[in-house]
Amino acid sequence: MRFFTIDYRKDRGGRRGTLVNRGLFLHQTPRLTPWCRLFGHRPVVDGYDSTYGAKSARWVACRRCGVRPNPQGRLDGDLVLGQAYTGPYGPPRPAKNEKSLAPMPKSDGAHSLPGPWPAHPTGEVGGQVVVGHQINAFAAEVTVGCAGSENTLSAHVGIHPLFGLYLHTAGHGQWLQRRLNAIGYEDRVIGVSIGGGHLRWQVWTTANAWSSSTPRWRDGSLNLSILDRALGPKRYSYEDVQTVTGLLRLPHGDEHLLTLTLKRQTHGRTRGRKTSSWIVGWSCRDGIPYRAGDRVVMSSAVDVRDEAVEDRGWPAEALAAIAYRITKDRTRYGFGPIPDMLVPGA
Ligand SMILES: [Zn+2]
């Protein structure tokens, strides 16, 4: 058994905010095949038929656990896939750099016999741990590879922005693959994810492929903002209540005549609960300069409190708020100090 890890943050530059991105690999781990250990393997003819042309291949594998003899043998391409294989078996594959003393499996041209079953079948397990950065809000997925897949089983789970965990096996779990996805060339996916305001699900769909003939219950998504659809989207609406003229006096000494309109602002869904507040929209015919040069602001809006409206003092509160905001802009954009203030003691 061999174990090693890779720090992907170093290898691939890494994304900002990723605290951990590490790959973990366990090679040559013993495969657990309890049934086959107790009762022996169940040899069948395994292989594939190419969808293009007449090419096909046949070898021997255990129907239950997927382990193959070593060598796996090369059988007659006309044998039926899945039929029981009762023998014969040839000698083991000679070790590297060792000349075979026994004659090689009898070979009639293209065909050769399978060797003995491996005494200690091994597989591989790999994983990846990401901490600190994930794309989806939540995702969980299990993939069952096809017979030709590099990965027999793979799975991942992640919660944004905390962590992601990925696992895959080679060899391990082949009994599940043989039971669920023995035929065909497509990996199969079961997964659910939440991200971008959508819930997505896949129930035994082919990986990396989408087909319009797949029913929605097997491969679909749902806009999570059910409230948007049921009650309408969140919006602001305004109702003009009263309009007055007010004189704005700014600390810099200039004065401006403004039109002030008290508006009832309502926020909420078309058919849902709404919240209301007061705002005052203002406009100034010649504009108010707020930065060096001739940049002016012509109109905007400020909040006023309920009490100011009840008290009918809302125009005064609005003018003070406008003065505060424009003065803040003037100091931010280098409008310059008030001339009087430059004279000490003035
Ligand atoms: Zn077996």
Reported as a single tens digit per residue, the pLDDT across 48-79 is 776 666 677 889 999 888 889 988 888 888 88
**Do the bridges between strand 234-249 and strand 255-269 make them parallel or antiparallel, or are there none, so unpaired?**
antiparallel
CA of 78 to the centre of ligand 1 (A): 24
Kindly provide the residue ranges of all beta strands, DSSP E only, lying in the chain, ordered along the sequence.
2-7, 20-30, 43-49, 56-62, 122-131, 138-144, 153-159, 163-170, 188-195, 198-206, 219-223, 234-249, 255-269, 274-289, 296-304
Q: What is the pLDDT of residues 73-118, one digit of tens each?
A: 888 888 888 889 988 898 887 776 655 555 555 555 678 899 999 8
Task: Map residue 106 onto helix, strand or coil.
Answer: coil
Q: In terms of Cα–Cα distance, which of 107, 100, 97, 99 is closest to 76?
A: 107
Contact predicate 186/160, CB 8 Å: no
Ligand 1 centroid from CA 146, angstroms:
18
What is the Å distance from ligand 1's center to 41 Cα?
4
Residue 277 has pLDDT above 90, yes or no: yes
Q: What's the CA-to-centroid distance between 66 and ligand 1, angstroms?
A: 6
CA distance 317 to 302: 9
Distance 56 CA to ligand 1 centre (A): 23
At 19, which helix (H) or strand (E)? Answer: none
DSSP one-letter code for 102? S
Least confident of 80-94, 104-118, 195-209, 274-288: 104-118
**Percent of the chain at pLDDT exceeding 90:** 30
Distance between Cα 119 and ligand 1 center (Å)? 11
Query: Mean pLDDT score of the chain, rounded to an integer?
Result: 84
**For residue 129, which of 157, 166, 155 has the smallest C-alpha distance?**
166
Q: Nearest 5°: phi and psi at 32?
A: -90, 110
What spacing in Å lies between the alpha carbon of 68 and ligand 1's midpoint? 8
- Which of the 8 DSSP states describes residue 90? -
- Tell me the per-residue pLDDT of 126-138, one tens digit each, with 9 for 90 and over: 998 888 755 567 8
Ligand 1 center to 122 CA (angstroms) = 12
CB 91 within 8 A of CB 137: no
Q: What is the mean pLDDT of residues 212-221?
A: 86
CA of 247 to the centre of ligand 1 (A): 92
pLDDT value of residue 73: 87
Higher pLDDT, 160 or 320: 320
Any idea where the domains of the chain sit in the sequence? 2-29+121-224, 32-120, 234-338
Residue 143 CA to ligand 1 center (angstroms) comes to 22
Q: How many residues are there in the chain?
A: 346
C-alpha closest to that of 334 among 292, 293, 288, 289: 292
Residue 161 CA to ligand 1 centre (angstroms): 42
Query: In the chain, what is the straight-line distance between the N-terminal and C-terminal CA atoms, in Å?
Result: 87
Q: Beta strand pairing status for 43-49 and 56-62?
A: antiparallel
- Given a contact cutoff of 8 angstroms between Cβ atoms, the answer to whether 156 and 53 are in contact is no
Q: Is the pLDDT of residue 200 over 60?
A: yes
Residue 293 has pLDDT above 70, yes or no: yes
Distances (CA, A) of 156 to 26, 123, 138, 218, 230: 17, 19, 11, 19, 33
Name residue, tokens 């409206």: 309
Distance 102 CA to ligand 1 centre (A): 26
CA 63 to ligand 1 centroid distance, Å? 7
Q: Do 20 and 7 contact (CB within 8 A), yes or no? A: no
User: Looking at residue 259, what is its pLDDT?
Assistant: 97
Q: How far is the centre of ligand 1, averaged over its atoms, from the C-alpha of 158 (Å)?
A: 34
The two tokens of residue 166 are 């990925």
Using the mean position of ligand 1's atoms as its centre, give its distance from the Cα of residue 12 in Å.
40
Extended strands (E) in 234-333: 234-249, 255-269, 274-289, 296-304
